[in-house]
Amino acid sequence: MRVRCLEIIHPDGDYPVAEYDGIRVGGVYPVLEMVAHDIDCQIRVLGPATSDPGLLWDPVNFETVDTRIPPGWTLSIVDGRTRLADARWQRPGFWTDYHHGDPQALADYEHVKSELLAPAPPSEN
């Protein structure tokens, strides 16, 4: 799944900016995961110059340009949170392990990231 950035609202000032954390208005980026909790939904979008693991963004500021869900993605509902992401990231504690430098979590993150940042295959028509 790929999205185009329509607008960026700076998190510190609630004002529009052209670029933030490696994401720019008009750019097209892969979605790394989608997280929903209660009525809040966010997508993790990572641009080529974004620091790992990127930020969670409000999807209202993006439009879908490629609707294909990447192979290996699963839907998980745990503790009131719904996550759509690669199965390797769905295990309990994945992000905690990632932030603590766990070698397996870091390897899983890098592998999935490289798959998602690869150029999109041509659309089937």
The tokens for 123 are 């659309």
14 lies in some domain? yes
Angle 8-31-110 from CA coordinates, rounded to 5°: 115
How many C-beta atoms lie closer than 10 Å to residue 83's C-beta?
A: 19
Residue 125 within a domain? no
pLDDT of residue 11: 81
More confident: 13 or 85: 85
Domain count along the chain: 1
In which domain, by residue range, is 70 found?
2-117
On the question of pLDDT at 108 being above 90, the answer is: yes
> Does the residue 100 lie in any domain?
yes
State residue 124's pLDDT score.
55
Find where tokens 């397996």 sit: 104
Give the pLDDT score at 5.
96
Residue 79 inside a domain? The answer is: yes
Burial class (CB in 10 A: 0-12, 13-18, 19+), 18: exposed
Evaluate the omega torsion of the peptide bond into residue 71 and state whether it is cis, within 30 degrees of 0: no
The model's pLDDT over 30-79, given as tens digits with 9 standing for 90+, comes to: 999 999 998 899 999 988 777 788 889 999 999 999 999 988 999 999 88
Q: Has residue 86 been placed in a domain?
A: yes
pLDDT confidence of residue 51: 77
Q: What is the pLDDT of residue 24?
A: 94
Mean pLDDT across the stretch 87-113? 94
**94 within 8 A of 28, measured Cβ to Cβ:** no
Question: Is 87 within a domain?
Answer: yes
Q: Name the residue with tokens 């294909």.
A: 68
Average pLDDT over every residue of 19-32: 92
Q: Is the pLDDT of residue 120 over 70?
A: no
The DSSP string of 15-54 is -EESEETTEETT-EEEEEEEEEETTEEEEEE--TTPPTT-
